[in-house]
Chains A and B, each alone.
Chain A
Amino acid sequence: MGETETTAAVNLLMARSQMAFTLGFHIVVASLGVGFPVLILGAEGLWLRTGDAGWRELARRWSKSFAVLFAVGAVSGTVLSFELGLLWPEFVGTFGAVIGLPFTLEGFAFFIEAIFVGIYLYGWDRLSPRAHWWAGVPIALSGLASAWFVVTANAWMNSPEGFVLTDGVVTSVDPLGAMLNRATPTQTTHMIIAAYMVSGFLIASVYAWSRLRGRDGIYQRRAMALGLTLGAAFAPVQILAGDFAAKMVAQTQPVKLAAMEGQFRTEAHAPLRIGGLPDAATKQTRFALEIPGALSWLAYGDSSAVVRGLDAVPVQDWPPVAVVHVAFQLMVGAGSALFGLAMWSAWALLRRRALPRSRAFLGSVVAAGPLAVVALEAGWVVTEVGRQPWIVQGIMRTAESVTTAPAVGLLFAATLTTYALLGAGAVVVLRILSRVPLEAPSHVA
């Protein structure tokens, strides 16, 4: 008995690590899959409108990088769709039907995306310029739809609705109700905006880096400006979307909110803690800057509202508080910095009709890419680790759903190796693509 318990504990740790790692990898590539096509269509659209071949070259070169990233996203997404069953058979066996609708719809969206990726990438010389641009539109739309469908399934895990469970068996399902659960509107919005921000800032970051290193032509400036426009446009909206998402978490997952905020005690006038390190043993969050009543006001719109603390549930139902709190602080911090950069850019555009060319500004844009990725990953940690120990909030524990197969640790090691090769290969090939000389050197001012 003792031995099987240890196996189960090891399996749980290894399966969670594997899931976290593969999802953490995929979420970046998938976000680029959502946002990058918008930028490519933007560049190609500017070519159609202005007839300036420089825009066409940008779109064409970007489409090749996108092809590499899309392939990596397609395979890392395939890993996830297999893993759901392979690592969490009890979860899939019990609830597969309940969240099947969004996954089926996502299957169709991915289908449309893959078909038009083929047409777009290989159709540059086969379609008229206008038709080719339109062939890219379904890629952007189905990327958006894919993200929405997949995140509704995750929202359902946070806010499980739309089914009747009798003796551990799902007996009645309202698939639409499950898909449109209470967490869906806020979580999908928050994630999709994050995907656009990551795409925009990452791409701007690459070209800001080129410019700092001396390759400062019109090609790099245009590329950076397009990326920055997408990222900066969504940065302010994200602060609102994040606020809505947190208010929904306060309603559907008060324990997660308490962990995010390091709130151990249930209290009125709960303070907002900026920074700090929660200690689950002493049940205190130390070193935080506290703004009295601000958490009550943010969560419920009333500075005297009672915020439920972690003490509302037994300790075995707590998520790892420190991880969730620190991740949340990282996300908010990075998001605020990106908001600052967006404001800086907007202010400069208003004042001087041009983006700043200073090293300080370019350096900030370089930092914005990694910062956006940090915010994305940290936000993902908040929502996933913050739900623990549950795989389905309040209904099924992660430990109950994990596979009993052996060697899950070995599998994780193999997966790490695979993804290291995958990531390294993608970086090498993207660098090769970036070194192909520009077609129109006259454009390089």
Chain B
Amino acid sequence: MSPDVVVLAVLLLALTLYAVLGGADFGAGVWEFNTALQASERERALLYRAIGPVWEANHVWLIFALVLLQTAFPRALAAISQALWLPLFLALFGIVFRGAGFAFRSYAAGAVAQQQIWGAVFALASTAAPFFLGAAAGALASGRLEMTPDGRFTGSFLTGWISPLSIFSAFFAVGVCSYLAAVYLTREGAQINDAELTHLWRARALATGAWMGILAFAGIAIIASDAPVLWQAFRARGLPLVAASVVTGFGSLWALWRERFNLAVVGAASTVVCVIAGWGISQYPVLVPPRLTVELAKSPEEILRVVLWVVSGGAVLLVPALGLLFALFKRGATVGSRATDSGQAMEGGRET
């Protein structure tokens, strides 16, 4: 296999992990936004405790994908940056205020007004970030960005990214994030043996999941009409993954229904993996539709090889470190009682 394909696979993996892990952190904020007036303090505590130790690490997947794109396919990054500068900047504002809002809210313990302001900022920004990232992804997938064969954007800088698919993707991304968050929080509620919260998040996850299923079929219709090139490729190569995403999606709902929450988490995450992989495989070898291909955008071979060496070497450090992080904070019922302790620590300052 040529190195550019391997780097591309790593890039897709990083984006997928960002969606599955970072997406759920955004989703928690979306729920904070949706339930601003009704959420109980206990409910909030579970939510903030769940993302506290991991959100910064989860966020790095995006940075990682960005540097990989810059290093391995610099022309693609330049093209995307030009064509999608507006949704990307808007997403960036969301990302900035999400992170700052979360940290400020967590550590402004005791200052109620500050906590309310930054909690609201966190909630709103967590919704804006996936919305505009989703819009950018949809604009890219639609194949409607006007550019020269070498990736120079010739369309409108203000409206060039807006298409039915980009608008659909914006809402879809927010929905996916909320579904992931609801499923994960159901599991975390069960881990601390809080029947009430488990029940609440299970109901929310089931309702969101059902809606997302309907929305997904609408999405297929929009792709068929708005992105004919992608649609052809979907039918030629993406079908198995589309089918798999339907199966895992329904599987996660079934697991939620049967209260098998670990399985539900795996199912929900797998659905997202299948959707992104299906998109990637269908679009290959085009990197920035309609015309900028991997071949045109890729860096010289020696760079790609160095990238692969660095990624392999880095993974040796990264994988155990990530394993430690998730083992400490996400490992389930055996540390259930201790999870409550850290929940207090999370509230920032309350433990002193």
Bound complex: CA of A313 vs CA of B97, how far in Å? Answer: 45
The residues of B with any CB-CB pair to A shorter than 8 Å are: 52-54, 56-57, 59-60, 62-64, 66-68, 70-72, 74-75, 77-82, 85-86, 88-89, 92-93, 95-97, 99-100, 102-104, 106-111, 114, 118, 151, 157-158, 299-300, 302-303, 306-307, 310-311, 314, 317-318, 321-322, 324-325, 328-329, 338, 341-342, 345-346, 348-349, 351-352
- Residue in B57, B77, B79, B317 whose Cβ sees the most chain A Cβ within 10 Å: B57
A71 CB contacts on chain B under 8 angstroms: 56, 99-100, 102-104
Is A405 within 8 A of B60, CB to CB? no
The residues of A with any CB-CB pair to B shorter than 8 Å are: 60-61, 64, 67-68, 70-72, 74-79, 81-82, 84-86, 89-90, 92-98, 100-101, 103-108, 110-112, 114-119, 121-127, 138, 170-176, 403-407, 411, 414, 418, 421-422, 425-426, 428-429, 432-433, 436, 439
Is A96 within 8 A of B70, CB to CB? yes
Is B78 within 8 A of A126, CB to CB? no
Is B92 within 8 A of A110, CB to CB? no
Bound complex: CA of A189 vs CA of B129, how far in Å? Answer: 37
Known A78-B95, A93-B78; contact A123-B306, beta-carbon cutoff 8 A: no
Is A96 within 8 A of B348, CB to CB? no
Known A72-B100, A93-B74, A138-B321; contact A175-B306, beta-carbon cutoff 8 A: yes
Is A432 within 8 A of B109, CB to CB? yes
B114 CB contacts on chain A under 8 angstroms: 428-429, 432
Bound complex: CA of A82 vs CA of B70, how far in Å? Answer: 10
Is A425 within 8 A of B118, CB to CB? yes
What's the nearest-Cβ distance from chain B to residue A415, in Å?
A: 9
The DSSP consensus for interface residues of chain A is helix
Q: 9 other contacts beyond A93-B74, A170-B300, with CB at 8 A cut-off? A: A60-B352, A75-B100, A86-B89, A111-B64, A115-B57, A116-B321, A118-B56, A176-B306, A407-B157
User: What residue in chain A is nearest B304 (Cβ atoms)?
Assistant: A97
A and B contact pairs by CB, cutoff 8 A, 11 listed: A92-B78, A101-B71, A104-B71, A104-B314, A107-B67, A117-B56, A122-B345, A125-B338, A174-B302, A405-B86, A421-B100
Is B74 within 8 A of A95, CB to CB? yes
A84 CB contacts on chain B under 8 angstroms: 70
Out of B75, B85, B107, name the residue touching A405 (CB < 8 Å): B85
A74 CB contacts on chain B under 8 angstroms: 56, 59, 99
Is A104 within 8 A of B67, CB to CB? yes
Bound complex: CA of A422 vs CA of B121, how far in Å? Answer: 11
User: What residue in chain B is nearest A401 (Cβ atoms)?
Assistant: B78
Is A119 within 8 A of B70, CB to CB? no
What's the nearest-Cβ distance from chain B to residue A387, in Å?
A: 21
A422 CB contacts on chain B under 8 angstroms: 96, 100
Is B82 within 8 A of A125, CB to CB? no
What's the nearest-Cβ distance from chain A to residue B191, in Å?
A: 15
Out of A103, A119, A173, A425, name the residue touching B53 (CB < 8 Å): A119
- Residue in A79, A90, A107 whose Cβ sees the most chain B Cβ within 10 Å: A107
B346 CB contacts on chain A under 8 angstroms: 122
Bound complex: CA of A101 vs CA of B54, how far in Å? Answer: 26
Bound complex: CA of A103 vs CA of B72, how far in Å? Answer: 11
Is B56 within 8 A of A100, CB to CB? no
What's the nearest-Cβ distance from chain B to residue A90, in Å?
A: 7
What's the nearest-Cβ distance from chain A to residue B56, in Å?
A: 4
- Residue in A74, A92, A428 whose Cβ sees the most chain B Cβ within 10 Å: A74
A115 CB contacts on chain B under 8 angstroms: 57, 318, 321-322, 324-325
Bound complex: CA of A405 vs CA of B81, how far in Å? Answer: 10
A92 CB contacts on chain B under 8 angstroms: 70, 74, 77-78, 81
Is B338 within 8 A of A126, CB to CB? yes
Is A100 within 8 A of B74, CB to CB? yes
What's the nearest-Cβ distance from chain B to residue A14, in Å?
A: 13
What's the nearest-Cβ distance from chain B to residue A59, in Å?
A: 12
B324 CB contacts on chain A under 8 angstroms: 115, 119
Known A111-B64, A125-B342, A406-B158; contact A432-B78, beta-carbon cutoff 8 A: no
Is B317 within 8 A of A108, CB to CB? yes
Bound complex: CA of A121 vs CA of B347, how far in Å? Answer: 11
Is B56 within 8 A of A70, CB to CB? yes
A100 CB contacts on chain B under 8 angstroms: 67, 70-72, 74, 299, 303, 307
Is A85 within 8 A of B60, CB to CB? no
A138 CB contacts on chain B under 8 angstroms: 321
B108 CB contacts on chain A under 8 angstroms: 428-429, 432
Out of A61, A96, A171, A411, name the residue touching B78 (CB < 8 Å): A96
Bound complex: CA of A92 vs CA of B71, how far in Å? Answer: 9
Bound complex: CA of A233 vs CA of B155, how far in Å? Answer: 56
Bound complex: CA of A78 vs CA of B99, how far in Å? Answer: 10
Is A404 within 8 A of B82, CB to CB? yes
Bound complex: CA of A64 vs CA of B103, how far in Å? Answer: 10
Known A86-B89, A103-B70; contact A112-B303, beta-carbon cutoff 8 A: no
Is A90 within 8 A of B78, CB to CB? yes
User: What residue in chain A is nearest B341 (Cβ atoms)?
Assistant: A125
Out of B96, B151, B300, name the residue touching A418 (CB < 8 Å): B96
Bound complex: CA of A191 vs CA of B92, how far in Å? Answer: 27
Bound complex: CA of A48 vs CA of B328, how far in Å? Answer: 22
What's the nearest-Cβ distance from chain A to residue B199, in Å?
A: 27
- Residue in A72, A104, A115 whose Cβ sees the most chain B Cβ within 10 Å: A115
User: What residue in chain A is nearest B92 (Cβ atoms)?
Assistant: A82
Bound complex: CA of A106 vs CA of B310, how far in Å? Answer: 11
